Amino acid sequence: MKLVNAVRCFDGEQRRYEHLSDTLNCTMQFSLYLPPKALQGKHVPAVVWLSGLTCSDENFSSKAGAQRVAARLGIALIIPDTSPRGDEVADDDAYDFGKGAGFYVNATQAPWSQHYQMYDYITKELLDLCHTHFPLNGKLSISGHSMGGHGALIMALKEHDQFRSVSAFAPIAHPSACPWGHKAFSGYLGDDRAQWHAYDAVELMRQGHKCPPLLVDQGSADNFLAEQLNFSTLKETVEARHFAAQLRLQDGYDHSYYFIASFIEDHLEFHATYLND
């Protein structure tokens, strides 16, 4: 593992690392924020952040303003990339498929299956790597935006014992029932809807999967709300399962990082409740 860069930030460090991933069969980069406590040698909890379509590991670290809050709360931030990378990795010309759009699934269809194993990369390889090399205490929560919100929800539902809480900003909550999901799932997973449902938060909830404490924020002025995100379906499903959850429709907010920056403090404080108990 190679340290690419490190900068001082709120008395902690924002770092970027490069490593060869056995799971993805390519070289990957990820970002990591270590709060002051971690630099002092104390083991700290962590929040995994999953970004959305077209993003890399650097969007959240540079735009969300999360480090100030993470430093105060004593929480590390683990920020993976959104897909495998490299000249040998299969790609597509569209923004919503291929590089930058891995959808956090384990692809089963060629040529995507050779590299696009993002679910296993994050839940197994990357988290094992981080716990081996950094002062983390094993307590984890997970959050994300849009495609990353989808990823956070499915990982929390499928790996219920691994994550103490989950939150999302404008998640693609029911990808089996929206254009983004249809395109990604048919390409990565084929035509078997049972495989689609294994990576669909609404369907996993309907199947009986447990959910850790949940916080979701959705902007009312989000231009993807009507066609892609299925916020109302998620809300109905959560209420039917009686999960410990807050689903908030935020008036006038859109799909951008301005929205994330406005509420990231709420989300990290929400996670701190469960990470520091």
Active-site pick, 146, 200, 217, 271: 146
Q: Which residues contact 77 (CB under 8 A, 6 or more apart)?
A: 31, 32, 33, 46, 47, 49, 60, 61, 66, 67, 70
Q: Tell me the angle at which helices 66-73 and 257-275 cross, rounded to the nearest 10 degrees.
A: 10
CA distance 216 to 151: 13
146 is catalytic: yes
E-assigned strand segments in 93-152: 136-145
* Paired tokens of 48: 């995994």
Three-state DSSP at 8 gives: strand
Active-site pick, 115, 145, 150, 255: 255
Active-site pick, 115, 167, 222, 271: 222
96 is catalytic: no
Q: Please tell me the number of Cα atoms within 13 Å of 126 on its side-chain side.
A: 30
Cβ-count burial 110-130 (b if 16+ within 10 Å, e if not): eebeebbbbbebbbebbbebb
Three-state DSSP at 79 gives: strand
Which active-site residues does the annotation give? 146, 222, 255
